[in-house]
Amino acid sequence: MLAEIQVHTSKYKVNFSQPIDLSLPVCDSNHNVNAWYISTPKITPVTDGDWVGKVSEGASTNFNNIFFNPHGHGTHTECVGHITPEFYSINRTLTQFMSLATLISVTPEQKGADAVITSAQLKEKLTNLSVEAVLIRTLPNTDTKKNKQYSHTNWPYLSEDAAIYLREIGVKHLLIDLPSVDKEKDNGELKAHKAFWNYPEATRLEATITELFYAPDSVKDGLYLLNLQIAAFENDASPSKPILYKIIT
């Protein structure tokens, strides 16, 4: 289905018949993507005495409890409440779900033992500055990202200057295919998080960060319509489902 949308003063044709799902699911498996030194998710039937909430064991329905962490067990979207003493809920701060977005692929620069995404790289890649969302796919890009065990790997991260640049050009929604926009072990500095949200100087409460998405190579760099879907958790973060729709030029 083709539809015409208007963003600011520009009109775009969007193909809604072919959604591109970039989310990594939460599953009860050691192959679930994992970060931050936590155990695997657990999806288990409720039990009450001899009763087990599982149709294959005699129950009328499957009735599971799910134990997981949104930050470490799959694609998730977070608000500034992730780093503040005050409570902010992603369910209340993310109220607009469709954005014009650009997907870019970046090979982080090696700086000593670290691999860093720099502001110079973003300036080179981002040719459309009217977008509200930027998705950063890191290279090399393999499907091992779908079940990678990230703890103690010193994954690539976004430099503080890069986060400032995205903020200054008006990006509201930053998405990255890593467990964090920041260095894994940074002594709690969280420079990229703080820079992007402009915390605490003039905090951008409407801005979000989405981490651990996966875009296969078949999804080309370029302009898309992003539908950023979350579950209705009153929490700083929620599992999320970023969906891209191709824009027909």
In a domain, 43, yes or no: no
Q: What's the mean pLDDT in 228-249?
A: 96
Q: Is residue 137 part of a domain?
A: yes
Over residues 14-62, the pLDDT tens digits come to: 989 999 999 999 999 999 999 999 999 999 999 999 999 999 999 999 9
Predicted model pTM: 0.96
**Residue among 238, 99, 229, 234 at smallest CA distance from 173:** 99
Number of domains comprising the chain: 1
Residue-wise pLDDT tens digits, 87-131: 999 999 999 999 999 999 999 999 999 999 999 999 999 988 889
**Residue 2 scores a pLDDT above 70:** no
Q: Which domain holds residue 158?
A: 2-24+72-248
pLDDT tens figures, 200-236: 999 999 999 999 999 999 999 999 999 999 999 999 9
In a domain, 100, yes or no: yes
Residue 149 lies in a domain: yes
50 within domain boundaries:
no
The DSSP result for 53-111, as a single string, is: S-GGGT-SS--EEEE--TTTSS-EEE-GGGS-SS---HHHH----EEEEEEEEE-PEEE
* CATH number of the domain bearing residue 133: 3.50.30.50
54 occurs within a structural domain? no
Tell me, yes or no, whether 33 lies in a domain: no
